[in-house]
Amino acid sequence: MKLTVTTEAIIEYLCAKRIKMQTVDHIRNDLIDRIMTITNKDFLIALNNLLSVSETETQVIALTKEQELMLKMSDVDIKEGRTISHEDFKDKTNQWLETRIG
């Protein structure tokens, strides 16, 4: 049996349980208590992998000249007000798709 645990699933679970802790120490202690009760090896491995991923160092990714140019062009667009809202973008995308699909 393979168990996949995503960050979103853990956050959703914690929010559903309405954990309201005041300090980091309280949150950490609550998580430790919960982990101590878990007997599912696959779940613990998945949780360990999740924690390992979140602890990795931030990688610096080199951009190509083209990517740097696109970012600079985007900055100019933003400064000059050439932007649209997310909702308008979705509407325009749907309209474009309808012309392609029929």
Summarize pLDDT for 4-25 with one digit per residue, the tens: 666 676 666 666 555 554 577 7
Residue 91 scores a pLDDT above 70: yes
- pTM, two decimal places: 0.37
Summarize pLDDT for 29-76 with one digit per residue, the tens: 888 999 999 999 999 998 888 888 765 556 677 889 999 999 999 999
pLDDT score of 97: 87
Measuring CA to CA, how many Å separate 34 from each of 20, 28, 47, 69, 79? 15, 10, 12, 49, 49
